[in-house]
Amino acid sequence: MAEAVPGGIAFDTTVPVTQASADAAAVGVAAAAARRDHRHGMPTIGAAPGVTYAGGNTTEATTTSTTAVDLLTVTGLSILAATPFLFVGGGRKTSGAADFAGLGFKINTTVIALPRDTWSTTATNEAQNGSYFQFITPRVTNYLLGGAGFYGVTGATDSNAGTTFLGAGANMPSVTITDVVIRALVVNALITIGADELHIYTLATS
């Protein structure tokens, strides 16, 4: 029901709508005015499937690729060339075949470590999981292979561990690092490799 006020403006009891994403603007046709303290509903931010914000559902990255694939990325970084940093993460493989699976990494768009150079399972046909740790020194002239790390992986009957160094891939770029990309492959497509919980930490230099 409309409520007339001095000046001839009318209000009613219509509740403001909840806008939907991509709604188009419109002049409107109602003959009643809006109250100045009215409030519209808003859709939940992050409702778009496939994009997750803090508090939303996520899952691991997985692949059955038998050639190197970009599996897990942390982007939006700005790590200066003179800043040392490290990253840690987890990896796993499913059972399915008596073969290896492994992880390597890229920095920005440059392949630094081939899959299995950063983390490698054994060839035993069983589920295995583990972690890797990679330390990267400042990227300055003549010091572009300054990376070392270690990893471990365990299954019900077999395990593997090792230390890693750079050299099989390219030199690290001596520019600001914006992306760290974990690459993966499985030697047999009946195995699935998963990677998750990649975290990157920069270190203070003074």
Residues in touch with another protein (CB under 8 A): 46, 48-79, 94-96, 106, 109-111, 114, 127, 168-169, 176-179, 183, 185, 187, 189-192, 194, 196, 198-199, 201-204
Q: How far is the CB of 179 from another protein (least distance, A)?
A: 7
Task: Indicate the residue among 58 and 141 with the shorter CB distance to another protein.
Answer: 58
Taking the least distance from each CB to another protein, the nearer of 32 and 70 is 70
**Which is closer to another protein, CB of 159 or CB of 188?**
188
* Residue 25 CB coordination number (10 Å): 5
Q: State how far the Cα of 106 lies from the Cα of 125, in Å rounded to an integer.
A: 28
- Nearer to another protein by Cβ, of 58 and 142: the residue is 58
Burial of 140 (0-12, 13-18, 19+ CB in 10 A): exposed
Tokens of 32: 């009643």
Nearer to another protein among residue 32 and residue 192 (C-beta)? 192
Q: Give every CB contact of residue 193 below 8 A, 6+ residues apart in sequence.
A: 62, 63, 64, 71, 91, 92, 93, 101, 102, 103, 184, 185, 186
Nearest approach, Cβ of residue 44 and another protein (Å)? 14
DSSP state of 49: T
Q: Which is closer to another protein, CB of 72 or CB of 144?
A: 72
**Shortest gap between Cβ of 1 and another protein (angstroms)?**
40
Q: Which residue has the tokens 């997985």?
A: 62
CA distance 34 to 47: 28
The distance of closest approach from Cβ of residue 6 to another protein in the complex, given in angstroms and rounded to an integer, is: 39
- Cα 173 vs. chain centroid, distance in angstroms? 21
CB of 175 to another protein, least distance (A): 9
Question: How far is residue 111's CA from residue 147's CA, in Å, rounded to a whole number?
Answer: 13
Q: What minimum distance in Å lies between the beta carbon of 163 and another protein?
A: 20
